[in-house]
Structure 1
């Protein structure tokens, strides 16, 4: 069968069983590489079309009123699918809807083989930025004249399918045969297509030069780049002159280049710090172009002085952006050659040894895991890095990847056949040879305490997004444990009665089986599982019983209980007894694994098994150490421990946390004093023009660092209006209803002025949920409400959805206060609902406040206020992301104007017009200004 009927439907909704109907059909019939037939019609649904659908498609009630009903055209549509593959971008929707309609009018349903281009795109285009039809069309440069109209979407789906089939026809024999093993559990019927490709390759001598086949897996050929031997001598002044001028190299390769004096100033300050071997703290306001500013200097230093420089970012996404965007740009214009490498933690890299093992076992794989294996097989023919951040996996696939990451292999034996092809060890080797290494704060902090270095040696480092270093270091030097991760660990090791790792190990060698039986593996494993479940259920109950005064609620709705040594009671003693029992059981399991390890050593069994046993022993030991440190060891004065429970989740949804209260001394002794130059930069480091709070928290002594603030090139006076209502109800803890109602009314009024395009920032998830429910009732259907934790999807997905719709309002809490860039007319207004003070009963805040009191400091002025001001600056910074952006920052909290500390917030943002009036007057000002 080489005929494909490609369909797209527009409908009044998603559920035909509830009365939704088709309003447009587009079908393209494709065969032998050509379109042989097309069909398009509007359909009269005989019901009203929702306004949202009209906004999306442009199809109105009037447009369909004189069109045929589905009953009249059903037979003609049904005939187009005879002897053809049924193809759609999301087959379950289009086929499901069509078949319900066929049943309704008495026609037989479609039973043909299917190709789902969403699924096939996920497999064949693993590095695509997204899998919506519009995203793929844009990425592949497919012509898409009329998105969300049926025939246009059907044409684009046809071109996409053709592209995907060509990729299948380029795959090597080994990959095709492995896909054939997976195909029965996929949605798309690819059996015949894969078989045809395999047949064409069976006697072919035409192999791809870019691939190698190793142990039956096709891999992209890898090459370690040789280090450049010499470079032409050039001065830093020459670089600056060539780089930062209207006719310079940067302007030549960047069409939208704008000369920014702050960018050159920042480069020069970093160079001065490097030359004088001093630390530096640089606040570079939005629009400075700090990434290029620090990269230019870092690369010059590395090449001219033959010393490695490291750059660390908070998020791995920024790491990737630097490597994919800024570095290629600099390679075009800098007058010297250089090498860069990206270095992440082991959990980011695929283990080929682990992946090979999982390919042998398919019996118990669910759909997501089968899809993930298919995606990885194609990705391996493309990737040089093996870094999972290159691709998007389904949610279960992400969990599965943890089991096949380099972290899961423990330490790969140098004698393993996969050692020379290990992505992680290749990344380390590349980093060792690189002039510039780009890493992240988490790996940087792990490197501070690791017995074996995770990063190559360096003396100079630039830390971007440096306001996150304190929090990341606190988490790294602390501890976190939770019920689910411990149970998953025990489940992944398993018992002899299920199809588990330990059973496969026992079946591999009879002596291992004897050890497992003799030392009663299953008994201790079962008891450890049951005791862990009992412990966490008891902790849940223990926290739930505590009075509300001991409990805080965090921004994702979890209850938090801080452990204090003076408050421990009889219930806590029960917990300690339970922990002691689990410790005993975990020790027994570790002991049995140590006996197995000896057998593997003595009999010289496969190194893969040795690595796995060692890794599982280490994982169990980490849990054992964690539980004993948390519960058995006495609470130190300089640390905080707290428990979080999902109050409305499972009765064992418990999370344990421990952090040092003051990270400054640790950072100073373990990091700062060992480096020549540490450059810390961010857009949000100062409070009222001062770095003193940041220095104190990060461990930098007075006079130890150069301090500079680079002013933004944007004309905030002309680009932003800040508005504060003076007539809102007073916001009282526990009595927020009136305040939330007034906030929602203001949001509705602003939405009418800004056509949506609003980001609303909350300080609590509870307030966000209440506002969302209220806004849904108050707003017209034409506005799309997108809310963190309510609407499904990741932060990036919610942002994309927000930018997709013309009239959208995005509600967010903690993670939306920073790192979300929505430039241009996509965002016209940022609403800050409350000044972002942490709840005073938050465990970490409470512990730090008490610690500060003991040292004679004011917790509000040295902790609460600085944290809130930095957060406020981040929220304010969401609005203006380019020199042409314009908009309103609307702050519902009049403490900004009335409280004595309000000027700390105002003096920490650019000087802009501030309006403090009634809500009605503010709306008039907003309308006139926009």
Structure 2
């Protein structure tokens, strides 16, 4: 035990510590406990692998010690409730979660599991994980102790106000630091793995106003980099030249040279990322005088981070070219410094206790971050704490460079300015559309665009150009203006506070602002009541339209039009709400004008008030525009629907609208402004050789045909040798009642025959839950871990646990069909329970099919089938992710073998389908492969 920790414990009158760790027995649900009792730095007693019942029977003299000791605890993922139940019976003065302390001390780590933290802190692994838990705790405290005293003061103050379990510990830490002012401080040996969002920060920027003639790439020279004796073979160990990759590089170079569009289906293993990154780097460097920026858009965070943090730095090291690349995200990913400083200085009554505890995890991050991007803070979950992050994040209505108090340090301004002069800019599909609507104000003008993961591009566009409304969207706005429940906060409180502080403000001005503020507060109450009335009436009317609504397990969706009967009974409460929101807008505008006309020297923090007011007004205007778009401004080219809540007593009905066809929007807003465009993905074709389906969906059929080239690049992997596709044709069709039970029987037989990692892809939560319930006891008897989407954690957590636990079984639905990359022996079996046809009465699906039918087309062949094929190929692609991967894909849906359209699903698969006519034959095929 370090001298620092001893002194801190002395201040807490504690000489003894109890450390415990709770974990699961691998593959089972039994929980085992390790514990250690430490006195003055020496281990007094320890035991491992015991049950909680045994722990409660430790010797009496040790029990007496435990009752007076602080408890340091840790636990395996998912066991927090169990460990807290165990320790709440102990009369300890302090309970300290060692992983939570590490989250505060170093929020940049990828994992906070004790085993991983032991490695991070360079500690010796101990079979008794409780001892490691104590050592992790001590190292984390050292990290905090090593920081300046000003930080310790903030930590102590926030810890006390948040009623954190660490509040007294942080106060003792501060007192200890104060005592040692002027003495050598503890130096931490652990660096922070914070990231930057600019690569090549000091490179020569693209300067606006430069002009120059485009200089073509020397395609053959760039292709040589990928050849057997090329630069990559010299730089990378085990580099394998791939003919398909070289061909893709060639075609992308020619697309740049000829100012053409390329649709490139590059299957798994082609190496498409490097194939477009290398030509992009050389193009932008060769034509920097002509401002040839290249924007690269992806759908998933994983691919974006791979490109930016791995591939691009590698290319910069190898090529030694002074190019600049920027990773850019949406505005609300970045911390606003003005908001942050305001929050640290705010009244302690403005936040819930839980919010203040979460703020502790932002203190070190704020001191260390270079980007202000909350995604790099692994300790803070911005999705789980959306309301809190909303009070900290940059937002368009609030943040204004002209009035920003930190213009040189502002995270969002810095990265956007860097993007405007960068050679490469990495974004996601949603931000790409956001930039379009702001007329390239986000990352500057560009004429070259690479769209990876392009199979999802149309769906992202449809969602982005759509509209959504709920009572919670309105409530969120009202809370920003005036929240007055457990505590009081919001714009109204800010104005009243500043008015009270402004001693030089004339009495008539003070009276006017006070009157308008009071009026605004009353309008907030009125809008709240009218919104609840409208959504309550709407929900009741819609529930009456649904037979047996109380028995519905999932949210029901109902389409509507401008003349739908539903509006007859709810239009009046809607109109009342609409008018009141309009009045709210007027009140905010009036108050803004009054405050703007007030002299700055007489009104404290005038600009801060105007920023806060502008943010509320922007959001209020958007609410009104969305209400009008969804109810009154009906567009026949859009589809509209309500989504009812599952709970019958809830008023959380939401309504949506999206465009049915985005092809013209994409043509007008993107394609007309580009000289080069590359669409790429492993799954763009839907059984069609020229990508007709994809081209029509994204509007490329509106572009001159001679400008668009298409090509397929096969996988270099040996699928015939390493992959087997089996269809158990003895199963009943999916529309038979016994389909799920017989499929479950087949899955059970598979898992008994092969003790290997298995991913089961379902098409609905009902099916997923049926399989999960049916496999639970069997997995326990086999001592295998069953991981179920929606029950055992989020997708990232489930995939991580699946990788860690040998021969586990993971059951997932929609989000697991794509973007899950599990290579190696971890995953050997993929079971596709059903061909992934979309739900036919889903509003967007039904509207698209109706539109095709009304125009005389075949909706099944032109939309329903191609969509299923693309998704099927994504699901199939989860298995073979590297050259050495080996495994079996099982398709339980016999339509793939028995229907004429079934062959289209396997047309592009690089192996033959094996039909098994009975369970015995099926087992033989399984057993013969590995």
* TM superposition score normalised by structure 2: 0.87
Shift of 1:620: 0.8
2:472 aligned with 1:484, yes or no? Answer: yes
CA contact 1:761–1:812 (8 Å) conserved in 2: yes
Shift of 1:145: 5.6
- Bigger drift between 123-132 and 616-625 goes to 123-132
Shift of 1:731: 2.6
Aligned length: 871
Shift of 1:158: 3.4
Supply the distance in 1 between the matched residues of 2:200 and 2:180 (Cα, whole angstroms): 31
Shift of 1:682: 0.5
CA contact 2:467–2:626 (8 Å) conserved in 1: yes
- Bigger drift between 414-423 and 901-910 goes to 414-423
Return 5+ residue gaps in structure 2 as ranges.
1-5, 8-14, 189-193, 207-214, 501-508
- The residue number in structure 2 matching 1:37 is 43
CA contact 1:85–1:114 (8 Å) conserved in 2: yes
Cα distance change on mapping 1:138 and 1:867 into 2, 3 Å? farther
CA contact 2:196–2:371 (8 Å) conserved in 1: no
- The residue number in structure 1 matching 2:178 is 199
2:290 aligned with 1:301, yes or no? Answer: no
Shift of 1:690: 3.3
- The residue number in structure 2 matching 1:331 is 316
2:767 aligned with 1:767, yes or no? Answer: yes
CA contact 1:88–1:157 (8 Å) conserved in 2: yes
Shift of 1:699: 0.8
Supply the distance in 1 between the matched residues of 2:920 and 2:542 (Cα, whole angstroms): 46
| 3-state SS in 2 of match to 1:330 | helix
CA contact 1:344–1:440 (8 Å) conserved in 2: yes
Supply the distance in 1 between the matched residues of 2:696 and 2:818 (Cα, whole angstroms): 23
Deviations 1:399-418 (A, max 9, x none): 31122110176232424322
Cα distance change on mapping 1:837 and 1:551 into 2, 3 Å? farther
Please point out which of 534, 549, 559 is paired with 1:562.
559
| 3-state SS in 2 of match to 1:333 | helix
CA contact 2:72–2:95 (8 Å) conserved in 1: yes
Shift of 1:771: 2.4
Shift of 1:9: 4.2
| 3-state SS in 1 of match to 2:367 | coil
- Bigger drift between 438-447 and 178-187 goes to 178-187
Supply the distance in 2 between the matched residues of 1:551 and 1:835 (Cα, whole angstroms): 30
Shift of 1:157: 2.0
2:402 aligned with 1:414, yes or no? Answer: yes
CA contact 2:146–2:185 (8 Å) conserved in 1: no
Cα distance change on mapping 1:174 and 1:912 into 2, 3 Å? farther
2:264 aligned with 1:282, yes or no? Answer: yes
- The residue number in structure 2 matching 1:681 is 680
CA contact 1:829–1:889 (8 Å) conserved in 2: yes
Please point out which of 570, 582, 594 is paired with 1:575.
570
Supply the distance in 1 between the matched residues of 2:186 and 2:594 (Cα, whole angstroms): 43
Shift of 1:228: 2.8
Supply the distance in 1 between the matched residues of 2:244 and 2:256 (Cα, whole angstroms): 18
| 3-state SS in 1 of match to 2:860 | helix
CA contact 2:145–2:152 (8 Å) conserved in 1: no
- The residue number in structure 1 matching 2:36 is 27
- The residue number in structure 1 matching 2:719 is 716
Shift of 1:23: 5.5
Supply the distance in 2 between the matched residues of 1:452 and 1:244 (Cα, whole angstroms): 34
CA contact 2:219–2:253 (8 Å) conserved in 1: no
- The residue number in structure 2 matching 1:240 is 222
Supply the distance in 1 between the matched residues of 2:550 and 2:484 (Cα, whole angstroms): 42
Shift of 1:249: 4.1
Shift of 1:475: 1.2
- The residue number in structure 1 matching 2:597 is 602
Cα distance change on mapping 1:208 and 1:514 into 2, 3 Å? farther
CA contact 1:172–1:208 (8 Å) conserved in 2: no
- The residue number in structure 2 matching 1:526 is 525
- The residue number in structure 1 matching 2:536 is 537
Cα distance change on mapping 1:886 and 1:223 into 2, 3 Å? closer
Shift of 1:679: 0.6
- The residue number in structure 1 matching 2:496 is 506
2:164 aligned with 1:186, yes or no? Answer: yes
Supply the distance in 2 between the matched residues of 1:21 and 1:79 (Cα, whole angstroms): 28
Shift of 1:653: 1.9
Deviations 1:129-164 (A, max 9, x none): 122223333444544364xxxx1x133223322321
| 3-state SS in 2 of match to 1:903 | helix
Supply the distance in 2 between the matched residues of 1:549 and 1:239 (Cα, whole angstroms): 68
Deviations 1:509-534 (A, max 9, x none): 26467445457333321121122122
- The residue number in structure 1 matching 2:503 is none
2:371 aligned with 1:385, yes or no? Answer: yes
Shift of 1:772: 1.9
Supply the distance in 2 between the matched residues of 1:293 and 1:622 (Cα, whole angstroms): 42
Cα distance change on mapping 1:476 and 1:513 into 2, 3 Å? farther
Deviations 1:788-843 (A, max 9, x none): 2233x221112122223234221111111000111111111111111111121111
- Bigger drift between 703-712 and 347-356 goes to 703-712
- The residue number in structure 1 matching 2:626 is 626
Supply the distance in 2 between the matched residues of 1:704 and 1:889 (Cα, whole angstroms): 38
Cα distance change on mapping 1:193 and 1:270 into 2, 3 Å? farther
- The residue number in structure 1 matching 2:706 is 703
Supply the distance in 1 between the matched residues of 2:186 and 2:115 (Cα, whole angstroms): 34
Shift of 1:647: 2.2
| 3-state SS in 1 of match to 2:418 | helix
Shift of 1:598: 1.5
Q: CA RMSD in A?
A: 3.4
- The residue number in structure 2 matching 1:357 is 342
For 1:625-664, list aligned pairs within 5 A.
625-634=625-634, 636-648=635-647, 651-664=650-663
Shift of 1:873: 0.3
- The residue number in structure 1 matching 2:691 is 691
- The residue number in structure 2 matching 1:65 is none
| 3-state SS in 1 of match to 2:248 | helix
Deviations 1:350-407 (A, max 9, x none): 1111111111232353343223312211002221111111123246534311221101
Supply the distance in 1 between the matched residues of 2:293 and 2:911 (Cα, whole angstroms): 40
- The residue number in structure 1 matching 2:139 is 163
- The residue number in structure 2 matching 1:54 is none
Shift of 1:98: 5.8
2:60 aligned with 1:75, yes or no? Answer: yes
Deviations 1:169-227 (A, max 9, x none): 32123222111112122222423443146416755799999xxxxxxxx9999999333
CA contact 1:224–1:430 (8 Å) conserved in 2: no
- Bigger drift between 755-764 and 498-507 goes to 498-507
Supply the distance in 2 between the matched residues of 1:879 and 1:76 (Cα, whole angstroms): 56
| 3-state SS in 2 of match to 1:419 | coil
| 3-state SS in 1 of match to 2:893 | coil
Cα distance change on mapping 1:650 and 1:711 into 2, 3 Å? farther
Shift of 1:543: 2.5
CA contact 2:475–2:528 (8 Å) conserved in 1: yes
- The residue number in structure 1 matching 2:816 is 816
Shift of 1:45: 5.5
Supply the distance in 2 between the matched residues of 1:533 and 1:842 (Cα, whole angstroms): 27
CA contact 2:397–2:616 (8 Å) conserved in 1: no
For 1:214-233, list aligned pairs within 5 A.
225-228=201-204
CA contact 1:495–1:521 (8 Å) conserved in 2: no
- The residue number in structure 2 matching 1:131 is 112
- The residue number in structure 1 matching 2:20 is 8
Shift of 1:907: 0.2
- The residue number in structure 2 matching 1:86 is 71
Supply the distance in 1 between the matched residues of 2:681 and 2:779 (Cα, whole angstroms): 38
Shift of 1:541: 2.3
| 3-state SS in 2 of match to 1:681 | strand
- The residue number in structure 1 matching 2:803 is 803
Deviations 1:278-335 (A, max 9, x none): 1111011011121122111111111111121110011234222221111121122114
Supply the distance in 2 between the matched residues of 1:374 and 1:228 (Cα, whole angstroms): 39
CA contact 1:173–1:201 (8 Å) conserved in 2: no
Shift of 1:235: 6.8
Cα distance change on mapping 1:550 and 1:495 into 2, 3 Å? closer
CA contact 2:152–2:173 (8 Å) conserved in 1: yes
| 3-state SS in 1 of match to 2:135 | helix
Cα distance change on mapping 1:279 and 1:595 into 2, 3 Å? same
CA contact 1:638–1:662 (8 Å) conserved in 2: yes
Shift of 1:764: 1.3
Please point out which of 576, 584, 593 is paired with 1:589.
584
Supply the distance in 2 between the matched residues of 1:928 and 1:869 (Cα, whole angstroms): 29
Deviations 1:20-53 (A, max 9, x none): 998654426386xxx6326433577598xxxxxx
